[in-house]
Amino acid sequence: MQITGTAAVVTGAASGLGNATAAALAANGARVYGLDLPSAVEKAPEIDGVTYLEVDVTAPDEVEAAVARAAAGEPLRTVVNCAGIGSAARILGKKGRHDIALYTKVVQVNLIGTFTVLTYAAEQIARTEPDAGGQRGVIINTASVAAFEGQVGQAAYSSSKGGVVGLCLPAARDLAQYGIRVNTIAPGTIETPMLAGVTEEYLEGLSAAVPFPKRLGRPDEYAKLALMLVDHDYINGETVRMDGAIRMPPR
Which positions are annotated as active-site residues?
Answer: 157
Q: Where do the DSSP E strands lie in 7-95?
A: 7-11, 31-36, 50-54, 76-81, 92-93
In DSSP notation, 71-122 reads TTSSPEEEEEE-------B-SEETTEEPPHHHHHHHHIIIIIHHHHHHHHHH
CA dist., res. 116 & res. 155, Å (int): 22
Whole-angstrom Cα Rg for the chain: 18
CA dist., res. 66 & res. 54, Å (int): 9
Q: What is the DSSP letter of 46?
A: P
